Amino acid sequence: MATIHAEPQADSSPAGQQQIINNLSIQVATVNGSGSQTANLVLLRAIFQMGIPVSGKNLFPSNIAGLPTWFTIRASQHGFIARRRDSEYMVAMNPETAEEDVMTLKPGAACVYDERLNLKRLREDVIFYPVPFDQLVTPVCPDARLRKLVRNMIYDGILARLLGIEMEEIHKALQKQFKKKAKAAELNWNAARAGHEYAEKNLVKADPYKLERMNATAGKILIEGNAATALGALFAGVTVVTWYPITPSSSVCETLTEYMKRYRIDQETGKATFAIVQAEDELAALGMALGAGWAGARSMTSTAGPGISLMAEFVGFGYYVEIPAVIFDIQRVGPSTGLPTRTAQGDIISTALLSHGDTMHPMYLPCSVSECFSMAMDSFNLAEELQTPVFVMSDLDLGMNTWMSEPFEYPTKPISRGKVLSAEQVRQMGGFQRYKDVDGDGIGYRTLPGTPDRLCGWFARGSGHNEKAIYSERPDVYVNNMDRLAHKFETARTKMPPPVVVHGATNEVGIIAYGTSHWAIEESLGQLRREYKIDAGYCRLRAFPFTREVHDFINRYERVYVIDQNRDAQMLGLLRLECSAEEISKLRSVRHYDGLPIDARSVTDEIASQEGAN
């Protein structure tokens, strides 16, 4: 073996090879339920603490323990945080997948592996670092039952030594990870140190990859999208939260519950300023949210594709009766159960038009954890201003992975409750008509149940109703009501955030993307310029219905590529609904739907191919 039994080296960089600093992707292949998540997050955080831009993608199975799982850590001095298709470094811990994992590596890549797996025989063009994990874990973890969980921390120490990650940062990250569990932190720290010592004494660095301290993460935070969404709801002043567990959305309400218990207990009385209920299913979760919205609460639920399907009838009810509620959809791969732990933008069309009859719903399209936070807050205001269900379309990649971000900003906009009348206002007016378009924006005035005046009562019904909310089957009444709702949707358009547009040097190629695709596009724009001389414009959608700027963008470019993380080009489909024939003729599609987060290379090569540039 080339790298084992070597003398310990003072300098761990190989002689005569040019180092590659702060630009690598590490893939860790482990078994689900083996405590690898802790080891991976500590690694991620340690790199972050060294000031190096970093991202982590957890590719996990729909299973609690025993199936293969991969975690990719990408460090990029340029700040690119999209997934990369290839990795320079592999940590092969899973006997089931190790051989296949090694075969995916590019020539020149490095592989740390469990010695017993004997992977070295498989490739001559890969640099191997065998490690006797079992031998190393026994002395640092006397309790045999815990060894499985501590074992993975050894590779943190190995990688720290091989890549130059500072051990003090591993230590700090460990303490952050374990918070008050000092014993667990110590046990893991000993394992990391054992790995580091082993590498120092036994492994000779033979690859060019290195991490060096820089200053690109100072003042930044690390957070998962679902936690950011929960924080947004907390500061939005949500009062009723009703939900049903489903991957990948469960951590929205679980994290929110923790925050609410900590920050939303009334100081004077010790009582909750909120109610959180785990419902019996998604139908009930949304039914409760709508019941609460009708009675005046700021209510929400969170779900994923199958839940969206179940909520379809109630969403139509909310739309037609005009009740506010916020629905967070953390999208995953469908149809049916699909790939429940993989990412997609799979619910775009079904959610935009959810329910029977003519229905359309506003959707926010966050791309980042900071937008998860800010759009959560905006969505509650919008739902109450428009008196309608509003969706926030996150996805598994954004929701469940850890992202680097600037700290979130405290809201400057006050909470907006929309058009709610008090008893006194109704008395002064001598009554009110629930569905009358008084202001010309399609939005009526409402009273909340419990408002103490006999003139305030009204009946919310999903059947045909007139302006006074009284049952009616008259054709003209129905048409007027539906036209007013369509007009209300036009009002929604004026309240949605416009796209973020960056123009290219020429007007030939434009790119439209949304959500987590943004991170791949950001990187792809440079690749297209450098490799194919395509200087494309970029329009990142932030909401549906689309604003005027989206049409301006399409009109400016000759060819516009719409990037979707789904098979059927769903956003392109929605654009078709709202675009002119001339605009539609310019639209092209780039689709990515293998369950993995979209990467820049896939986008670049596909656009280049369609442009005939390669």
Partner 1 sequence: MATTTVPPSPSAKLNRIGLEMTHYKGNKTTLCAGCGHNAISERIIEACYEMGVEPHRVAKLSGIGCSSKSPAYFLNSAYGVNAVHGRMPSVATGAMLANRHLIAMGVSGDGDTASIGVGQFVHLMRRNLPIIYIIEDNGCYGLTKGQFSATADLGSKLKTGVINDLPPIDTCALAIQLGATYVARSFSGDKRQLLALIKGAIAHHGTSMLDVISPCVTFNDHEGSTKSYSYVKDHDSPVADVNFVPFFDDITVDYDPGTTKDITLHDGSHVLLRKVNVDYDPTDKGAALHMLTESHDKGEILTGLFYVAPEKPTFIDQLNILDEPLATLPESKVRPPKEVLDQVMQSLM
Interface with partner 1 in residues 423-452 (CB under 8 A): 423, 427, 447-452
Quick check: 216 binds partner 1 (CB under 8 A)? no
Which residue lies nearer to partner 1 by CB, 457 or 526? 457
Quick check: 556 binds partner 1 (CB under 8 A)? no
Between CA 82 and CA 54 the distance in angstroms is 10
Between CA 167 and CA 137 the distance in angstroms is 18
How many CB atoms sit inside 10 A of residue 605's CB? 18
What residue type is assigned to position 281 of the chain?
Answer: D
Between CA 130 and CA 139 the distance in angstroms is 19
Q: Which two tokens stand for residue 148?
A: 């499985």
- Looking only at residues 311 through 330 of this chain, which bind partner 1 when binding is defined by CB under 8 A? 313-314, 317, 321
Q: Which two tokens stand for residue 90?
A: 């592999």
Quick check: 231 binds partner 1 (CB under 8 A)? yes
Between CA 228 and CA 405 the distance in angstroms is 10
Which residue lies nearer to partner 1 by CB, 427 or 503? 427
Between CA 302 and CA 325 the distance in angstroms is 11
Between CA 371 and CA 231 the distance in angstroms is 11
Which residue lies nearer to partner 1 by CB, 335 or 462? 462
Between CA 248 and CA 303 the distance in angstroms is 8
C-beta of 460: minimal distance to partner 1 in Å?
A: 5
Between CA 334 and CA 319 the distance in angstroms is 25
Segment interacting with partner 1, rule: CB under 8 A, options 124-132, 160-168, 238-246, 478-486: 238-246
Quick check: 4 binds partner 1 (CB under 8 A)? no
**Among residues 415, 486, 502, 505, the one that binds partner 1 under rule CB under 8 A:** 415
C-beta of 386: minimal distance to partner 1 in Å?
A: 18
- Looking only at residues 453 through 472 of this chain, which bind partner 1 when binding is defined by CB under 8 A? 453-463, 470-471
C-beta of 44: minimal distance to partner 1 in Å?
A: 13
C-beta of 318: minimal distance to partner 1 in Å?
A: 10
- 3-class DSSP assignment, residue 121: helix
Query: In which region does residue 310 sit, left (phi positive, over 0), alpha (psi from -120 to 50) or beta (all else)?
Result: alpha
C-beta of 349: minimal distance to partner 1 in Å?
A: 23
**Among residues 86, 168, 182, 263, the one that binds partner 1 under rule CB under 8 A:** 263
Segment interacting with partner 1, rule: CB under 8 A, options 148-156, 270-278, 478-486, 564-572: 270-278
Pairing verdict, β 275-278 and 240-243? parallel
Is the alpha carbon torsion for 185, 188, 194, 195 positive or negative? negative
- Looking only at residues 92 through 111 of this chain, which bind partner 1 when binding is defined by CB under 8 A? none
- Looking only at residues 343 through 362 of this chain, which bind partner 1 when binding is defined by CB under 8 A? none
- Looking only at residues 20 through 59 of this chain, which bind partner 1 when binding is defined by CB under 8 A? none
Quick check: 381 binds partner 1 (CB under 8 A)? no
Which residue lies nearer to partner 1 by CB, 16 or 452? 452
Q: Which two tokens stand for residue 522?
A: 């950001």
What residue type is assigned to position 525 of the chain?
Answer: L
C-beta of 231: minimal distance to partner 1 in Å?
A: 7
C-beta of 163: minimal distance to partner 1 in Å?
A: 23
- Looking only at residues 278 through 297 of this chain, which bind partner 1 when binding is defined by CB under 8 A? 279-281, 283-297
What residue type is assigned to position 605 of the chain?
Answer: D
